[in-house]
Copies of this chain bind each other. A is one copy, B any other.
Amino acid sequence: MSESIKVVVDAMGGDNAPEEIVKGAVEALAENENIEIIFTGPEDVVNAELGKYQYPASRVRVVHASQIIETGEPPVKAIQSKKDSSLVVGLNLVHKGEADAFVSSGSTGAVLVGGQAIVKKIRGVHRAPLAPLIPTAKGASLLIDCGASVDARPNHLVQFAVIGSIYMKNVMGISKPRVGLVNIGAEEEKGNALCKETYPLLKACPDINFIGNVEARDIPKGAADVYVTEAFVGNVILKMYEGVGGVLLQQIKAGLTSTLRSTIGAALAKPALKKTLKKFDSSNYGGAPLLGLKGLVVKTHGSAKAGEVKNTILQCIQFKEQDVNGKIQEFLARESAAKDSAG
């Protein structure tokens, strides 16, 4: 367990860069001595931030990158034209094997495109899924895919189910992750064409613990550990979490301060309430990994603060120690062999 892990941190990505990003990375260094951090970004800016802290200099390196990819930029063009951005320079370090993982709070589109174009998919992976952990009443579940698989095919979803299970078992420590197919009814014959074709494939897949269809209303309850869906629906689920949660909390806040009586009540209830709601805060679980690549790429929220950056970096250790990519490759080899013998 003493093997070290090298994590590239995009010092310039996200709303709170570089301050919170550098702070979170320094905190991760303090928490685990096997971590080495490589920051990408303008050398002077990163060093100025680092100057605020005490940290083990032997485990920190800054690789200069003069450009920044902004959130609004078209991803493909940004990746192609900004070769000296903190994002592209960072992904190249993983590609060249100089680092194990890359963490960024920058543009989701650019991380998705850059991850696939620069770090590249493992041979046999159809599409590299973006798989955030979402909070549930029981803890956290993996929602796979929220990324690049819009208009996915059934065999893509089967790969997501297996890859997601490997992740939840090895990184989150869940022994037999329950896999649910996101659908609009519980019965096998329910749903759209994609679900109807995917269901029997998941049922027949020996590599997963498939529990059947899961309706969206049961997702926040923690009905499964791995929720399998194509990216359009995954994205809608992820953003409904954000939207409903945000508006509801806003309304509750307004209700709590609408009268003097309720304002006093709210002041008394606040500490306990805050503690509970923290459980439902997705930043506790770290960033969303882009899986199936020849290296680990993790996207943290654009609004990520030091805590989320730290948690994300710490998760990378599990990913490497448990050899998640090795296990994905073993599955792909089995899948390919099965196809050959069937064909």
Q: Which residues of A come within 8 Å of B, CB atoms?
A: 136-137, 150-151, 182, 184, 191-193, 215-221, 231-233, 235-252, 254-256, 258-259, 261-262, 264-277, 279-280
Closest to A146 in B: B184
The distance in angstroms between the C-alpha atoms of A255 and B271, with both chains bound, is: 9
User: Which 7 pairs from chain A and chain B are nearest by CB?
Assistant: A255-B276, A265-B268, A265-B269, A262-B272, A216-B239, A240-B240, A217-B239
How far, in Å, is A321 (CB) from chain B's closest CB?
Answer: 33
The answer to whether B221 and A243 touch across the interface, beta carbons within 8 angstroms, is yes
Pick 24 A–B contacts, CB within 8 A, sort by A. Answer: A136-B247, A137-B247, A137-B250, A150-B184, A184-B235, A184-B236, A215-B239, A216-B235, A216-B236, A216-B238, A217-B243, A217-B246, A221-B247, A236-B236, A241-B244, A247-B280, A254-B276, A255-B273, A258-B272, A258-B275, A261-B268, A262-B270, A265-B268, A265-B269
**Whole-angstrom CA separation of A182 from B46 in the bound complex:** 40
**CA separation between A241 and B277, bound complex, in Å?**
18
Say whether, besides A150-B192, A232-B191, A232-B233, A269 and B262 are in contact (CB < 8 Å): yes
A213 to B232, CA, bound (A): 13
Output the least CB separation between A165 and chain B (Å).
Answer: 22
Docked Cα-Cα span, A220 to B250, in Å, equals: 11
Q: Is the Cβ of B242 less than 8 Å from the Cβ of A240?
A: no
Is the pair A272, B251 in contact by a Cβ cutoff of 8 Å?
no
- Chain B residues with CB under 8 A of A136: 247
Specify which chain B residues have a CB less than 8 angstroms from the CB of A256 in the assembled complex.
Answer: 269, 272-273
Which of B191, B217, B259 contacts A150 (CB under 8 A)? B191
Nearest B-chain residue to A222, judged by Cβ: B247
Q: CB distance A255 to B272 under 8 Å?
A: yes
The answer for the CA separation of A277 and B248 in the assembled complex, in Å, is: 8
**Contact A277 B252, CB 8 Å, known A236-B184, A247-B137:** yes
Q: How far, in whole Å, are A94 and B138 apart by their CA atoms in the complex? A: 46
Q: Give Cα distance in the complex from A52 to B254, angstroms.
A: 40
CB-defined contacts of A184 to chain B, threshold 8 Å = 150, 231-232, 235-236, 239
A240 touching B247, Cβ below 8 Å: no
Contacts of A241 in B (CB 8 A): 240, 244
With contact pairs A239-B215, A252-B277, A255-B273 given, residues A244 and B220 touching in the complex (Cβ less than 8 Å): yes
Chain B residue at minimum C-beta to C-beta distance from A184:
B235
**Interface residue from B235, B243, B255 paired with A219 (Cβ < 8 Å):** B243
Docked-complex contact B246 and A220, CB < 8 angstroms: yes
A267 to B264, CA, bound (A): 10
Tell me, rounded to whole Å, the shortest Cβ–Cβ distance linking A267 to chain B: 7
A236-B236, A254-B276, A262-B273 are known; give 14 further A-B pairs, CB within 8 A. A137-B250, A151-B192, A216-B235, A216-B238, A216-B240, A220-B240, A220-B248, A232-B233, A233-B236, A244-B248, A259-B271, A261-B271, A265-B268, A265-B270
Shortest distance in angstroms between A265's beta carbon and chain B's nearest beta carbon? 3
